[in-house]
Amino acid sequence: MKRITVLGGGSWGTAVAMSLASKGIEVHLWDIDREHTRSMIEERENKKFLPGAPFPETLQVDMEEEEAVKGSDVVIFAVPAQFFRSALEAAVPLLKKEMIVVNVAKGIEIGSLCRLSEIAGSMIPENPYVVVSGPSHAEEVCKGMPTTLVAASRDRAVAEEIQDLFISDVLRVYTNDDVVGVELGGALKNIIALGAGICDGLGYGDNAKAALMTRGLAEIKRLGAAMGADPMTFSGLSGIGDLIVTCTSMHSRNRRCGIMIGEGIDTKTAIENVGMVVEGIYTCQAAYEMAKKYKVEMPIVTGIYQIINENKNAADAVRELMTRKRKHESEPDFITRNSL
């Protein structure tokens, strides 16, 4: 038995805490919003984000971060990607070097264009670090519905330790050593989910969504390859798995936000209507800049960026994507084969 801390009482952080606690593990949950934390203590459930899902007995909610972290073996960060740096900075004085740090957020820091493992590497280089990702809506995990995840770390033994910690009869966990690929897949699929929602909002059908997902995955793979990721990772849970669930489910806040944008609602209002952080909005800006930095062609990401940030008409953006210069589906492979 281990003592586990989850920092972040949003929907996913709470679902992770509940899943671990349901195994009889001592889990401590903390959130920076004191009113929200107090509500969870009093109600024994997260009425704000996961109403109707009572906490297991072994899940304890703490008012103070120090009390939550003290004596834990594993500290799980479940805060929005854009707040990961500040959350980690606040926790550093509380972290012992032997504590395993796990991150379950999905995103890229705007401005620095850092992946979250890069932020952790610069601030807590001696702590073992694992990223957990995959197709996992909190609304289903908290109810014990079957789910699969991937735990990625450069240290296989540490990844396997987190695999053993998370795994249960309803939660299957695989391991991977491609931290770059797992992080990029989990982050970039949110952009494509925004696009899928925009297609839905415009009234387009299944054909358009299938095309968007497939060609969006091709763009993710291209950027991933340029950044040193293993292309095979994007065929796994953190790639196509997470892409499918986020582009097709109404649990997806990115898809819901995209639907409203496609219907003509401005981006700011759409985000406010979702009522939670829409990571794809931030990741889209970061990916647009990364595409230029690594000289990678990402027309879908560019189109979504223009819709969100430059008020481009969504239907016009789709029309431009459809009328681009014709090309082979696997252009690099085609060129290689025909040059032999």
**CATH number of the domain bearing residue 200:** 1.10.1040.10
Question: Residue 162: its pLDDT value, please?
Answer: 98
pLDDT of residue 234: 97
Q: Is residue 278 part of a domain?
A: yes
**At residue 205, does pLDDT exceed 80?**
yes
Does residue 144 sit within a domain? yes
> What stretches of the chain show up as alpha helix (H) in DSSP?
11-21, 34-43, 65-69, 84-91, 116-123, 138-141, 156-166, 179-202, 206-226, 242-248, 253-262, 267-274, 279-293, 299-309, 314-322, 331-337
- Residue 205 falls inside a structural domain: yes
**At 1, is the pLDDT very low, low, confident or very high (cuts 50, 70, 90)?**
low
Mean pLDDT lowest among 105-109, 115-119, 271-275, 325-329: 325-329
84-128 pLDDT per residue, tens = 999 999 999 999 999 999 999 999 999 999 999 999 999 999 999
In this predicted structure, the answer to whether residue 339 has a pLDDT above a threshold of 80 is no
Per-residue confidence (pLDDT) for residue 332, from 0 to 100: 59
Residue ending a domain, choose from 177, 212, 244: 177
Same domain? For 144 and 292 the reply is no
- Residue 220 resides in a domain: yes
Same domain flag for 193 and 156: no
DSSP 47: T
- 78 and 218 housed in the same domain: no
* 144 & 193 share domain: no
pLDDT tier at 335, thresholds 50, 70, 90 = very low
The parent domain of residue 314 ranges over: 180-330
Same domain, 144 and 185: no
How far is residue 198's CA from residue 204's CA, in Å, rounded to a whole number? 9
- DSSP per-residue letters across 172-228: EEEEES-HHHHHHHHHHHHHHHHHHHHHHHHT--HHHHHHHHHHHHHHHHHHHHHTT
- Is 196 domain-assigned? yes
233 and 289 together in one domain:
yes
Do 156 and 210 sit in the same domain of this protein? no
The reported pTM is: 0.94
189 is catalytic: yes
CATH assignment at residue 21: 3.40.50.720
186 and 157 in a common domain = no
Which of 106, 189, 209, 221 is the catalytic position? 189
**Within-domain flag for 19:** yes
Residue 336 in any domain: the answer is no
Domain end (from 151, 177, 203)? 177
